[in-house]
Structure 1
Amino acid sequence: MKRTNNSGAGLSPTSARTVSCPSSGTLGTEWDNTFVHGIKRKGAQPGVPLDYSRYLRLRRQGSQKGGFAYVFPELSRINFRLAYTDQQLANLSITTARTLTTEHQEYRVSVDLTDESSLADALELAKLAYNAT
């Protein structure tokens, strides 16, 4: 993933690389055309940097649909742009995700990252959300 500046342009294009975790080894690779965006706060003055403190928005470059995932680091939570039901999650063998009934109606699936199983489910859901945007 690439971090973006205020304009949304990538700061440093990178080639695919692996991301590793000491306890489990390799988790995955970088996704092409994915950028991390901060949030422009209401009333922010021109030239004020984007805010990366509360959450990060993962967005597929060129998508008109907005972010495919919102990452809340302090909560260890990710909300995905998926309008799935509990039954659809069960059919995918996703056991650690829950459906949301509040917030934006297109972001209805959430995972709290608590262990390797929830991480695996989050990566699977991220792929689904990425491919849908």
Structure 2
Amino acid sequence: MDPSRFRRYAPAVAFAGLLLVTSLVPVPESGADAVPTLLGVALDKWVHAGSYGVLTTLLAWGRRTRTVAVVAALATLAVGYGAGIEFLQGLVATRDTSGADFLANAVGAGLAGVGWLAVRDRIAREA
């Protein structure tokens, strides 16, 4: 692989590492179980969706693609990575595996993939 091509993936790799570390750090247990909501959705789900949307966007940027199949594969990769992290969270004492978190990850990755395709196509038409 060309070194410059590898460097394009560096932000995605760094962000994936950040996601891994922040997702597996034990959190202190608190008496407050209520999670704030935004538009009726728990705030942590918005964070999950946004995080995996960013990861998908960084992967697509690194690949420099406008192909639907490749962007779908990259979004699937991001979702799979999130699924692996969700599994690992089940092994951390103060964390647990959450299907709702997995769904939020998938929604964020999917929306980012669609957004990437729309923006890249528009930029290509204007160039």
Q: Which TM-score applies when normalising by structure 1?
A: 0.24
From the two aligned structures, give the one with the greater helix fraction: 2
The structure with the larger Rg is 2
Q: Which TM-score applies when normalising by structure 2?
A: 0.25
Query: RCO greater where, 1 or 2, for CA within 8 Å and sep 6 or more?
Result: 2
